[in-house]
Amino acid sequence: MSNRFFLGRFEVRPDERRVVAEGADVVLGGRAFDLLLCLIEHRERFVSKDELLERVWPGLVVEENNITVQVSALRKLLGAQAVVNVSGRGYKLGVAVTEGVSTVLPAPAMPGAPPQEASALTLPDQPSLAVLPFENLSGDPQQEYFIDGVVDDIITALSRVRTFFVIARSSSFTYKGRAVNVKQVGRELGVRYVLEGSFRRIDTHVRVVGQLVDAETGRHIWAGRIDADVQDIFDLQDRLTESVVGAIEPSLRRAEIERARAKPTTSLRAYDLCLRAMVHFTPLATRAGNEEGMGYLKQAIALDPGYSYAKSMCARMQGWRKSQSWADDAGIREGIRLAEEALQDHRDDPDTLANAAMSLSWLARRHDEALHAIERALVLNPNSAWVAHAAGWIRMYVGQAAAAIAHFQRAIRLSPLDPLTSAFMTGLAAAYRRVGRFDDALSAGLRSLREAPDNHTTHRVVISCLVELGRLDEARVAAQRLLALSPGLTVSKCRALQVWSEPEYIDRYLATLGLAGIPE
């Protein structure tokens, strides 16, 4: 094999086991890298599951769903259509591959984009930490999603301690499956402390071993082992969280720790279903994936009718369906009802508040209620990238574009390596467009489309910016791409999607879509 392959903006270097984009290294797990090399090597044909298992997990007996996990990682990086799967035939690259000598030069930094060099990330004033994905010692790949969910909840609990700065799960989980150096992690994420550990589950017994490391010096701050029954998994999360909080800042008020202990449900089965739905709780989700995720959430709600977080997730998924022109009136009404119930029943969980607030804005244009809820969410958890992202959209809908830009930039800092940066960049592009910074908006929008090429919202923003910049020919080409994604789309249908509180702005925005060739 050649030592250089090019897939769009990505350069794959097999001899160095690196993927580079625009002059910067891209984080990709070892198994995903091996799978990518196999698909590149056999790019002219479909590669069977057996071939992939033998190539990526030689000599090991593993479940086929391991392939699905790694393919998902590649799609998040390269685009939703980058890997094609045909039942009975296998997998094949869906993007063009060229060979040659590297000519990639670093691209200029885009406004609001995460810094491309770790040294640009300065340490926050308060204690800062990242929680790495825990190693699965159970010998059962089926436990991966459960372990990741437990760690995700530990991150959420720590992030609710307001005197901390905690990196979002989406960025810390880019290190999953990699042997990493904590000093490197500290530099790349801009944090002082790193929590790492392992998780072993045998039948109903769970053991977690964790260690907290000072990323600057490599010194161990705390190490411990916690044993629990699987039915007491929430208690295990509490104990680990308290250990870390006590090691970093023993003087924290008890109220801060108690706030972190809030639990959304007592039903382990409902919790499990919610974790399964999280895979599809993403702007990269397909329509079928969105349906599957909502199915899991509805089962969880049936098991625990008071599970407000599941209700808020389901409502937000309905909001996403609307933004992609998939929603129907019944789904919109259901989303509004679930958002209302979530807000009524649970007002102390920031993620529930953010999801419900976003849903009320998207689905019902009830921006005042949404603002009240998102402000409370920001107070309860100032370290959530997803809460900051939701706050950005809601602020923008009520005409506070400058505040929206700050929220989106905050989300990017909280999760500098987020595989879903496309969502943050779409919001940033829309906010830049609102204040007339069309060049900046276009740059952010194009970056978002490179990562999530099927996002209808981003396409509309890019088309509008091209028209505002006088680049009509490019705008018409972009409009045709959007019409291919959404046959039958019209300006009238786009008007029905708008939730801005400023009619004049909506009129100008929709006029640009018409000039680009979107039918009336």
| Angle at the Cα of 99 from the Cα atoms of 94 and 102, rounded to 5 degrees | 115
- Classify residue 413: in a domain, yes or no: no
Domain that holds residue 92: 5-99
> CA 325, CA 345: separation in Å to the nearest integer?
30
pLDDT in the model for residue 136: 84
Mark whether 90 and 126 lie in a shared domain.
no
Instruction: Mention every residue, 6+ apart, whose C-beta is less than 8 A from residue 77.
Output: 10, 19, 26, 28, 32, 419, 451
Residue 328: burial class (beta carbons within 10 Å; 0-12, 13-18, 19+): exposed
Q: Is residue 466 part of a domain?
A: yes
Quick one: tokens of 104? 């990639």
* pLDDT per position as a tens digit, 356-385: 999 999 899 999 999 999 998 988 888 888
Residue 409, domain member (yes or no): no
* Alpha helices, DSSP H, located in 452-517: 456-468, 472-485, 491-497, 503-515
Q: Mind listing the pLDDT tens digit for each residue in 218-262?
A: 888 777 787 877 677 677 667 766 676 666 665 444 444 454 455
User: Rounded to an integer, what distance in angstroms lies between the CA atom of residue 317 and that of residue 296?
Assistant: 12
Residue ending a domain, choose from 215, 231, 260: 260
Q: What is the token pair recorded at 205?
A: 């017994």
Where among 353, 381, 409 does a domain terminate? 381
The reported pLDDT for the residue numbered 383 is: 81
Indicate whether 503 belongs to any domain. yes
| pLDDT score for 347 | 65
Does some domain include residue 113?
A: no
What are the start-end ranges of the H helices in 381-468? 385-397, 401-414, 421-434, 438-451, 456-468
Residue 422 lies in a domain: yes
Task: Report the domain count for the chain.
Answer: 4
Domain shared by 341 and 453, yes or no: no
Residue 390 lies in a domain: no
| 280 and 198 assigned to the same domain | no
Of the candidates 432, 460, 456, 457, which has an alpha carbon nearest to the alpha carbon of residue 444? 432
**What CATH number is associated with residue 376?**
1.25.40.10
Give the CATH number, domain containing residue 212: 3.40.50.10610
Per-residue pLDDT tens digits for 405-456: 999 998 888 887 776 778 889 999 999 999 999 999 999 999 888 878 888 8
> Which residues of the chain, if any, have pLDDT below 70?
1-3, 22-23, 59, 61-62, 100-121, 230, 233, 236-237, 240-242, 244-264, 282-285, 346-347, 419
pLDDT confidence of residue 240: 67
pTM for the predicted model, two decimal places:
0.59
**Residues 366, 273 share a domain:** yes
Is residue 162 exposed (0-12), middle (13-18) or buried (19+ Cβ within 10 Å)?
middle
CATH number, domain with residue 66: 1.10.10.10
* Pairing mode, strands 165-166 and 205-214: unpaired
* Domain final residue, candidates 206, 231, 260: 260
HSE-up of 494 (CA within 13 Å, CB side)?
Answer: 29
